[in-house]
Amino acid sequence: MGPATVHGRCAPGFAGVREAFERNFREHGDIGAAVAVTLDGETVVDLWGGHADAAGTRAWERDTLVNVYSTSKGMTALCAHLLVDRGELDLDAPVARYWPEFGQAGKRDIPVRWLLSHRAGLIAPREPLPAGCAYDWDGVCASLAAAAPWWEPGTAQGYHAVTFGYLVGEVVRRITGQSLGTFLRGEITGPLGAGVFIGTPAEEHARCADMVGQLDEARLAAQFPGGVPRPPFRALSDHPLAVVMLALTSIPTGDVNSAAYRSAEIPAGNAHAGARGLATVYGALAGGRLVGPATLEAMRRSQSLPGERDLTMDALAPAGREHRWGLGYMLNHQGQAGPNPGAFGHGGAGGSFAFADPENRLSFAYTMNKYGGGTTGDDPRSRGLVRAVYRALEGTRG
């Protein structure tokens, strides 16, 4: 393949974002990608380029969708907060108020907010689940309802990489009678005209780019000569990598480029979206058009203790940094979402990243199909784009 052709537009003053986007293809090996930025509800950056497949046979188009992995969590959390804003969901109520079966195995008093802030201790079911189980919503939810937590709920935070979507999604389903993906489309992305799906309809599959690459288990294996351990584990102390392997592999999802995966609802990690669609949603959020001021402030209020580490993230990077969670969102304490500490959003495995910056009335989204960095917004591709956005914003405001 030759150099990627970049399409789209930037508003005056934002040409540096295009330069950073082009640099991602030249220097960071992007195959296909898109970036979008809104300011005061108007799109100021809408760029796309490259290819939707590894072979370079399909161009990345303006409406291309791609699996954004855990960037999905921001959309899933938003569904819950919409219900909070409407008075239909109380974050301090026990989950069992809405989902009675959840109260088994010592979980009767776990509040909803601990699901959103990764403090429930439910990173995986207690029993191994078979291949393809991720597509069995009722089966996974029944397993989680029956499971005892892996640590005392509320005492620690540990990223619920896959279970987050089932846990939050089932609460939404119990209140609304709709699946998470149906509710998202009907109440948020559909009215906004945003290209974001959890449970992508078959007629939209032709728009989907193929992911190229996957989680680098070889890197994990290199840390432990005995190789990457596999569940089942009886306790997190069974192996230094038990927590991350439980969180990532206990609910197998299968081929992420398959029609079955694209059609399924796995709300923690299989939204298929375009950068413009994600930026549209976060732009509406930043502009106060989806939830009221009190709900918006609660969404980005830290649920982490000062200096608290994340059990799952630490297992991935033992020398890693502090992780600070809001209610379903990554908080911007490391500058991955620019200079405003009040910005919030979510990243996805592979490198996608999207966030809202309410103080600057700005939203940002980057999507791509070359699997690269982790879920924390620290991929050099998104970092470079975010820096360019805020340099442009500073320049336009003089």
Instruction: Supply the range of the domain harboring residue 374.
Output: 6-397
Q: How many domains does the chain have?
A: 1
pLDDT above 60 for 218? no
Which CATH number characterizes residue 35's domain? Answer: 3.40.710.10
Domain assignment of residue 93, yes or no: yes
Least confident of 4-13, 28-37, 43-52, 228-237: 228-237
**What pLDDT does residue 217 have?**
56
Q: What is the pLDDT of residue 1?
A: 53
Is residue 70 flagged as an active site residue? yes
Distances (CA, A) of 395 to 229, 326, 378, 390: 50, 30, 24, 8
On whether residue 138 sits in a domain, the answer given is yes
Of 70, 117, 263, 352, catalytic: 70
Q: Report helix, strand and coil shares of the chain as percent, to nearest 5.
A: 40, 15, 45
pLDDT at residue 353, rounded to an integer: 97
Which residues neighbour 346 within 8 Å (Cβ) at sequence distance 6 or greater?
70, 71, 72, 73, 74, 77, 328, 329, 330, 353, 354, 355, 375
Q: Give the tens place of pLDDT for each residue, 346-395.
A: 999 999 999 999 999 999 999 999 998 767 778 999 999 999 999 999 98
Cα separation, 235 vs 242, whole angstroms: 8
**Pairing state of beta strands 32-39 and 196-197?**
unpaired
The reply to whether 26 falls in a domain is: yes
Closest listed residue to residue 397, CA positions, set 41, 12, 17, 9 = 12
Q: For residue 1, is it within any domain?
A: no
Q: Looking at the chain, how many residues does it have?
A: 398
Q: What is the mean pLDDT of residues 119-146?
A: 95
Q: What is the mean pLDDT of residues 71-99?
A: 98
pLDDT over 70 percentage in the chain: 94
Looking at residue 90, its pLDDT comes to 98
Locate tokens 């189980």: which residue?
133
Q: Is there a contact between 96 and 102 (Cβ–Cβ < 8 Å)?
A: yes
On whether residue 65 sits in a domain, the answer given is: yes
Give me the torsion for CA of 6, 353, 292, 188, rounded to 10°: 70
The pLDDT value given to residue 199: 98
Mean pLDDT of 9-33: 97
In a domain, 384, yes or no: yes
Helix (H) or strand (E) holding 113: helix 112-116
275 within some domain? yes
| In the predicted structure, residue 252 carries a pLDDT above the cut 90 | no
Q: What is the mean pLDDT of residues 242-269?
A: 92
For the stretch 194-215, pLDDT in tens is 999 999 999 999 999 999 987 6
- Which residue has better confidence, 231 or 172? 172
pLDDT of 120 over the 70 cut: yes
How high is the mean pLDDT of the chain?
93
Q: What local confidence, expressed as pLDDT, does residue 320 receive? A: 55
